Structure 1
Amino acid sequence: MTEASPATTKPPIPDRLAIDPRSPHHNAAVFEHEIGIRLNDKERFDVEEYCVSEGWVMVAAAKTRDRKGRPLMMKIKGKVEAFYR
């Protein structure tokens, strides 16, 4: 049997993860592989941050921006599943 090389092993998916590098929940090592998010058994492609244990995802609220030019975020609650594609 062959052992998996370090390049092919994937880190465990964290319970909470954010895309924004300024967030304390950002983990660059996880983003080396493509991640998928399902909310209420439907795959979402616009998720900015998620928390599996609390059951919510954050998505941008249309084209609305805050004073600093960043998109306003909207929290959607439901059953959250994170997986590697």
Structure 2
Amino acid sequence: MTDTNTPPDRLSLDPRSPHYDEALISRGVGVRFKGEERTNVVEYCLSESWIKVAAGKSLDRKGNPLTLKLKGPVEVWFEDVDNQGE
């Protein structure tokens, strides 16, 4: 990642995922999916145009939340960058 103001191509909130990065998550990442800002995103991928969201309160047999993969246009940004200009 060369630009510190550009979010990575893929990021996950799950600490077991190889795409988890606590430092980036702590900055606050905003996600817009199909033109609507989403706050329930568990993981996203810009290059493949998808997000994963929790499927209600359902859990798998290991106790992890079930997720749904939704495909469509994805936009992401760091929320702390937006607040610096104010």
The corresponding residue for 1:69 is 63
Instruction: Give the structure with the higher percent helix.
Output: 2
Query: 2:6 touches 2:77 (CA, 8 Å); kept in 1?
Result: no
**CA RMSD between the two structures:** 1.5
Gaps of 5+ in 2: 80-86
Runs (4 or more) in structure 1 with deviation over 2 Å come to none
**Does the Cα contact within 8 Å between 1:11 and 1:29 map onto a contact in 2?**
no
Q: Which runs of 5+ in 1 are unaligned?
A: 1-9
Identity %: 49
User: Are 1:14 and 2:1 counterparts?
Assistant: no
Over residues 15-35 of structure 1, what are the superposed CA-to-partner deviations in whole Å (9 max), with x where a residue is unaligned?
000001110001122122111
Normalised by the length of structure 2, the TM-score is 0.82
Structure 2 match to 1:80: 74
* TM-score normalized with structure 1 length: 0.83
Q: Does 1:31 align with 2:25?
A: yes
Describe the SS at the equivalent of 1:17.
strand
The Cα of 1:12 is off from its aligned counterpart by: 3.2
8 A Cα contact 1:37 1:81, kept in partner:
yes
CA-CA distance at 1:11 after TM superposition:
5.3
Matched, 1:41 2:8: no
Rounded to whole Å, the distance in 1 between the matches of 2:16 and 2:39 is: 21
Do the aligned residues in 1 keep the contact of 2:32 with 2:74 (CA within 8 Å)?
yes
Secondary structure at 1:29 match in 2: helix
